[in-house]
């Protein structure tokens, strides 16, 4: 079986690095044109777009803060201007601002909620508007559009010292399910991916050294830290018609992190 997204267009937010970059590459590998959104540093996004174009794909870099309504409008407008349509949104952009709850500033609380939750809503809303306008094109896909929200195992696992992040991902869980329920009759498919520990810039402190990795592996029954490609592969599947009957689901891609690993040896 071969997955092809030929003729389809994807916008991946926060895709100048990490999971977003791997998702953009994976989508381009199976034929989708991709808009690579970055927040402030254009260079890595432009470089990735060049790489994809040089390999025969189609890609552009689009700047913008997902938590800013005008920026979101602009990044969607630029994507449509370049590629003429939109079929897939990967709402991936996110960040952490960690602190013990007693010390957490309102600024850090707001910044994380704004990017991780409000940002996903603003992008999902813009994508839904576009998908409703386009309708289903059966030559491209059985769905009018697909949205993939990048959640986390922390949509279900509480995380001391990260209350803003866990609250944002818990919010993404019910936002995604509510949007999925509302939009399914319009043939818009909305799902989430909940990564476990994937080695990227966001968790360099834990994954970037041997001791950190050793500690992390205690939380992962499958005994390996995830690669960004593990998530890129899941993105491609959820964006394709192979998952056409999957609606409102969270796909945990976590090496079993959400399986209560403390009980591995009888608790």
Binding status of residue 17 toward ligand NAD by CB under 6 A: yes
CA-to-CA distance for 135 and 131, rounded, in angstroms?
6
Cβ at position 1, least distance to ligand NAD in Å = 27
The smaller minimum CB distance to ligand NAD, of residues 141 and 173, is found at: 173
d(CA 86, CA 78): 11
CB of 257: closest distance to ligand NAD in angstroms? 9
Whose Cβ is closer to ligand NAD: residue 86's or residue 193's? 193
| Phi then psi dihedrals of residue 145, to 5 deg | 180, 160
Phi first, then psi, for residue 116 (nearest 5°) are -80, -30
Task: Report if residue 200 touches ligand NAD, rule: CB under 6 A.
Answer: yes
Who contacts 135 (Cβ-Cβ below 8 Å, separation ≥6)? Answer: 144
Task: Please report where in the chains the tokens 């998908």 appear, as a residue.
Answer: 131
- Identify the residue among 8, 79, 115, 192 touching ligand NAD (CB under 6 A): 115
Binding string to ligand NAD for residues 154 to 193, with x set by CB under 6 A, is what? Answer: ----------------------------------------
232 near ligand NAD, judged by CB under 6 A: no
Residue 9 sits in the site that holds ligand NAD (CB under 6 A):
no
In the complex, least distance from residue 165 CB atom to ligand NAD, rounded to whole angstroms: 7
How far is 213 from 145, CA to CA, in rounded Å?
Answer: 38
Is residue 34 at the binding interface for ligand NAD, with CB under 6 A as the rule? Answer: no
Contact between 63 and ligand NAD (CB under 6 A)?
no
Q: Quick check: 145 binds ligand NAD (CB under 6 A)?
A: no
Alpha-carbon dihedral angle through residues 45, 231, 94, 222, given to the nearest 10 degrees: -140
Write down how long the chain is: 267
* 146-170 residues labelled b (16+ CB within 10 A) or e (exposed): bbbbbbbbbbebebeebbbbbbbbb
- Tokens in use for 7? 């003729």
Question: Which stretch, 62-70, 128-136, 176-184, 256-264, contacts ligand NAD (CB under 6 A)?
Answer: 62-70
* Catalytically active residues, by annotation: 165
Residues that bind ligand NAD (CB under 6 A): 13-14, 16-20, 39, 65-67, 92-95, 115, 119, 150, 152, 195, 197-198, 200-203
């Amino acid at each position: 079986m071969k997955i092809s997204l030929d003729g389809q267009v994807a916008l991946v937010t926060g895709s100048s690095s990490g999971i977003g970059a791997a998702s953009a590459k994976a989508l381009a590998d199976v034929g989708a044109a991709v808009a690579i959104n970055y927040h402030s540093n254009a260079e890595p996004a432009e470089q990735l777009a060049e790489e994809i174009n040089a390999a025969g794909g189609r890609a552009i870099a689009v700047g913008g803060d997902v938590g800013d309504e005008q920026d979101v409008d602009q990044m969607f407008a630029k994507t449509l201007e370049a590629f003429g349509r939109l079929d897939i949104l990967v709402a991936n952009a996110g960040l952490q601002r960690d602190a013990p709850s007693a010390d957490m500033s309102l600024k850090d609380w707001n910044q994380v909620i704004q990017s991780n939750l409000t940002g996903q809503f603003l992008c999902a809303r813009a994508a839904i508007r576009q998908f409703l306008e386009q309708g289903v094109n059966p030559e491209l896909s059985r769905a009018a559009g697909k949205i993939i929200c990048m959640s986390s195992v922390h949509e279900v696992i509480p995380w001391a010292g990260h209350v803003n992040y866990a609250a944002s991902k818990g919010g993404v869980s019910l936002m995604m399910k509510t949007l999925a329920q509302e939009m399914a009759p319009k043939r818009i498919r909305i799902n989430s991916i909940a990564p476990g520990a994937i080695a990227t810039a966001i968790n360099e402190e834990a994954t970037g050294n041997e001791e950190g990795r050793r500690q992390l592996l205690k939380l992962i029954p499958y005994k390996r830290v995830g690669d960004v490609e593990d998530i890129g592969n899941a993105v491609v599947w959820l964006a394709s018609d192979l998952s056409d009957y999957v609606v409102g689901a969270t796909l945990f891609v976590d090496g079993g992190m959400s399986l209560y690993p403390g009980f591995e040896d009888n608790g």
